[in-house]
Chains A and B, each alone.
Chain A
Amino acid sequence: NAGVMQNPRHLVRRRGQEARLRCSPMKGHSHVYWYRQLPEEGLKFMVYLQKENIIDESGMPKERFSAEFPKEGPSILRIQQVVRGDSAAYFCASSPPGTALYEQYFGPGTRLTVT
């Protein structure tokens, strides 16, 4: 059973470009979470999605950031018009459907560098 997959692992974008980060949850998992880790800082929750629904986006910046988890395919975190402050590691996690007690399994992360 493959773990959580994220791609690309490293992404370089110039200021003003768009960044698309992909996350494929573990097989059978229908809950996806995105977290961001700025350099030398802790992990911060961004958004929690279930298939075709955003459940909690309380950690998402109000502008330029969006996330989706379509019925088919991976979850996508999109950052429009990137700025240098968006440079960070972005981690995706997934958990099975059902009780909130289930632990979250994390992917290896995508490291975004904005030049």
Chain B
Amino acid sequence: DAKTTQPPSMDCAEGRAANLPCNHSTISGNEYVYWYRQIHSQGPQYIIHGLKNNETNEMASLIITEDRKSSTLILPHATLRDTAVYYCIVRVTQGAQKLVFGQGTRLTINP
């Protein structure tokens, strides 16, 4: 699976949009971009995934650049409960199904 690079930490004001970047410059054509988050001491929670088109669900939006070398997770109206470690994972669709977690971005939402 391709390697991802994320900033170790970010801050965002409550009510504002939180934009979390992820670099995956070595991504290959059959690899999807997944986002998970881990709120303190809890099990990771799936957020969203995509291949090349932008995706949106009730939790977030995922913007993937045209060359697919980077992506941005957007939490449109961050709340204090969105404080968590966010993981960007590039995952091949065939073969091993394991998730390879990096260090992620520790997002802190400030009141």
Q: Using a CB–CB distance below 8 Å, which chain A residues touch chain B?
A: 4, 31, 33, 35, 42-45, 48, 55-56, 58-59, 89, 91, 93, 95, 99-101, 103-109
Contacts and interface: CB of A to CB of B under 8 A. Distances in A.
Interface stretch (B9-17, B67-75, B97-105): B97-105
Interface in B76-111: 91-104
A101 to B, nearest CB: 6
Contacts of B101: 35, 42-44
Nearest to B49: A103
Nearest to B45: A106
Interface of B: 32, 34, 38, 41-46, 49, 91-104
A55 B54 CA distance: 32
- Judged by DSSP, the binding face of B is loop
A44 B100 CA distance: 7
Given A42-B101, A42-B102, A106 B93 contact: no
B97 A100 contact: yes
A108 B93 CA distance: 26
Contacts of A4: 43
B100 to A, nearest CB: 7
Contacts of A106: 43-45
B32 A43 contact: no
